[in-house]
Structure 1
Amino acid sequence: MANPIRGQVHIVGSGAIGSLIAAGAQRNQISYSLTPRRPEQLTQRLTSYSGQSRWLSGNLTSKQKLGPDDLLIFPLKAYQLEEAVKQWMERLDESTPVLLLQNGMGGLETIRKLLPEHAVYIATTSHGVLKTQPHEVKHTGFGRTIFGEAPDNPAVDDEQLERVFETVSRCLQPVTWQKNIIEALWLKLAVNAVINPLTALHDIQNGGLKDERFAGHIDDISQEMVAVMQSEGYRYSVQDLVGQVRQVINATSQNYSSMHQDVKHKRPTEIDAINGYIVQTAQKKGIDVPINAFLYKKIKSLEAAYS
């Protein structure tokens, strides 16, 4: 069995997924720190999927420089990423590995623009996690994590790759290695493009999409997604994608999507990196995606109406 990283896991932010990673690191005796935007936002307790409470040690990141044995993790909303990378880039050694956890697309381009020489790893997870109070997080749904390395990575140190993978495996288990991680991101994007805006607009849990009135919406959005994905070289059928969407709906039926929670609490959403990214890509390829465009405009109008 490989060993985790020798240094410290630095988790940027103190959001739901970041807090779940911190709890996993603490459970496996991996040194970690959390970096909320403000110290008073630090997560202090996580309630596990089985109902057990775990108090987090609450390590705040100091200002020391990160080295090749450390790991910097960005489990952030798409719109938070660029500013966060800029805040950290001066503290990174060129050989410090970086892990990006993302919902939508565009995050790798943001990191590459600022950190062109770093080894970047990418993960996407279907664990359900909810921040129930400013200092409390609840693990609401057990999922799985897919991990891979960015396709444009410089020459990667095999030992570093194994250590980063082992670290993620212990913190967000179970973890599967995927050679083409970008394809996995596209598949998650396709699922999120259905579930996120529909649950946000109709104020329902994910399981609410099992209602027959949403069947046509799911099919139509999936049809647009397949056209865009095929233009990118990913050969999925509408039936494949609808099956994936329904599988996620069933597995997370009691969960609220992140976009639902953002709209409910009047926070910026990730619509630009989800349906907005699909619309933008479709325009470049000359593909018509009217339903994705409609959903994008509806969520943007909700954001604009926040008081």
Structure 2
Amino acid sequence: MSKANPHNTPQHPWYILGAGAIGSLWATYGFQSGADIRLILRDQKAVNDYLQHGGIHLSIEGKALICTAPAECPSSLATPIKYLLITTKAQQTLDALNSIKPHISDHAVLLLLQNGLGIVEHIRQAFPLATILQGSTTEGCYRQSAYEFVHAGHGHTYIGNASQDHLQDDTRLTEIANTLSFPPLAISISDNIDEILWRKLAVNCAINPMTVIYNCRNGELLTNPKSRNHMTEVVNEIINVSTAMNRDHWLTGLHELVIDVATSTAQNRSSMLQDVQAGRRTEIDAITGYLCQLAKKYGVDVPINQQILSEINRISALDKC
């Protein structure tokens, strides 16, 4: 792995699709660094709300940063999109991309920085000539209100080539990482992004839906014997699927990793729990659902994860009533 050196400005702006915590984090530091950042919001009402609020307000260690980067909606876009950072929720990604598809250049660079897997295959079908990159970040950021966020902790961010993409030049990949490395955000290049994403998926499967089922913060999963045992069962099934896929070596020490993550993020409410409490659709299909799809493909029984998938969908349906 290699670390990018900030900050080379591309000839074209970076558009950011999704103004949630991660999208707003990158937009703010990019804007503060003088980069040409453009936000793509859901509709004109969202743009008006953004303008009325005075942009994005990001708090870090008592310091307030403001991002007033230009914001557009799909109906107001006029220039071709050549660089697109996608930070939408996994379940919103395809609809969001379809809404701006006429404006995305054939050979655009599309970088996904989100939870869950399985989306990239659909994106590749819709944009066969595009360069599709995937990323993973452990930067801690949460929303306080509509356009107010807190950068709660520094982490690591990696990007790499999605399988079968059109970017074979490592120098070009490094250049792309450079253009999105806005201090204090630094992007490293991974020569095996699939492994990083698989480990993140495994941790998400073990923690996020559990916080919904037990209606608790991450750390509370470890203090409840029932939920802790439940997590262990989930991890065991993930390892079984990984073994069938010849990926078990990617998950060495997974039980310990899950405990470490739940401990270090003990006070966090997972994004999945926040979605359920807000009556929003969750990312469960791109997390546990994706694991269950692979289990079926490789002939592995995952009854615990199947039950969790059904339970989260049931809870989500109840909260929408």
Query: For the Cα contact (< 8 Å) 1:197–1:299, is it kept in 2?
Result: yes
| 1:286 alignment partner in structure 2 | 299
Shift of 1:232: 2.1
1:102 aligns with 2:114: yes
In structure 2, which of residues 50, 55, 61 is the aligned counterpart of residue 50 of structure 1? 61
Shift of the 236–5 alpha-carbon distance from structure 1 to 2, 3 Å rule, reads same
**CA–CA distance in 2 between the matches of 1:12 and 1:200?**
27
TM alignment of 1:27-176, pairs within 5 A: 27-38=32-43, 39-40=47-48, 42=50, 44-61=55-72, 63-66=77-80, 70-156=82-168, 158=170, 160-170=172-182, 173-176=185-188
Shift of 1:160: 3.6
Query: For the Cα contact (< 8 Å) 2:115–2:201, is it kept in 1?
Result: yes
**CA–CA distance in 1 between the matches of 2:32 and 2:158?**
21
Stretch deviating more after TM superposition (270-279 or 128-137): 128-137
Identity of aligned residues (%): 32
**CA–CA distance in 2 between the matches of 1:41 and 1:116?**
35
Query: For the Cα contact (< 8 Å) 2:13–2:83, is it kept in 1?
Result: yes
| 1:7 alignment partner in structure 2 | 12
Shift of 1:173: 2.2
Shift of 1:259: 0.2
**CA–CA distance in 2 between the matches of 1:171 and 1:77?**
24
In structure 2, which of residues 275, 284, 297 is the aligned counterpart of residue 262 of structure 1? 275
Q: Which secondary structure does the structure 1 equivalent of 2:212 belong to?
A: helix
**CA–CA distance in 2 between the matches of 1:72 and 1:51?**
31
In structure 1, what residue type is equivalent to 2:68?
S
| 1:18 alignment partner in structure 2 | 23
Shift of 1:268: 0.3
**CA–CA distance in 1 between the matches of 2:217 and 2:185?**
24
Query: For the Cα contact (< 8 Å) 2:276–2:316, is it kept in 1?
Result: yes
Stretch deviating more after TM superposition (242-251 or 184-193): 242-251
Cα deviation, 1:267-296, whole Å, max 9, x if unaligned, reads 100001111111111112111111111111
Shift of 1:181: 1.0
Stretch deviating more after TM superposition (113-122 or 157-166): 157-166
> How many pairs were matched up?
305
Query: For the Cα contact (< 8 Å) 2:57–2:65, is it kept in 1?
Result: yes
Tell me which protein shows more strand as a share of its residues: 2
**CA–CA distance in 2 between the matches of 1:46 and 1:141?**
16
Shift of the 173–247 alpha-carbon distance from structure 1 to 2, 3 Å rule, reads farther
Shift of 1:158: 5.0
Shift of 1:85: 1.7
Shift of 1:59: 1.3
**CA–CA distance in 1 between the matches of 2:57 and 2:263?**
24
Query: For the Cα contact (< 8 Å) 2:89–2:114, is it kept in 1?
Result: yes
Stretch deviating more after TM superposition (57-66 or 273-282): 57-66
**CA–CA distance in 1 between the matches of 2:258 and 2:167?**
36
Query: For the Cα contact (< 8 Å) 1:101–1:124, is it kept in 2?
Result: yes
In structure 2, what residue type is equivalent to 1:128?
G
Q: Which secondary structure does the structure 1 equivalent of 2:182 belong to?
A: helix
Tell me the TM-score normalized by structure 2: 0.88
In structure 2, what residue type is equivalent to 1:37?
R
In structure 2, which of residues 260, 263, 269 is the aligned counterpart of residue 250 of structure 1? 263
Cα deviation, 1:144-196, whole Å, max 9, x if unaligned, reads 21211112112445554222111233267243321111121111110000110
The CA RMSD measured in Å over matched residues stands at 2.1
| 1:200 alignment partner in structure 2 | 212
**CA–CA distance in 1 between the matches of 2:42 and 2:109?**
22
**CA–CA distance in 2 between the matches of 1:181 and 1:52?**
33
Q: Which secondary structure does the structure 2 equivalent of 1:267 belong to?
A: coil
Shift of 1:218: 2.1
Query: For the Cα contact (< 8 Å) 2:161–2:167, is it kept in 1?
Result: no
| 2:240 alignment partner in structure 1 | 227
Shift of the 206–229 alpha-carbon distance from structure 1 to 2, 3 Å rule, reads same
Query: For the Cα contact (< 8 Å) 1:148–1:181, is it kept in 2?
Result: yes
Cα deviation, 1:217-258, whole Å, max 9, x if unaligned, reads 221111100111222221248761112212222222222111
**CA–CA distance in 2 between the matches of 1:249 and 1:233?**
26
Query: For the Cα contact (< 8 Å) 1:21–1:172, is it kept in 2?
Result: no
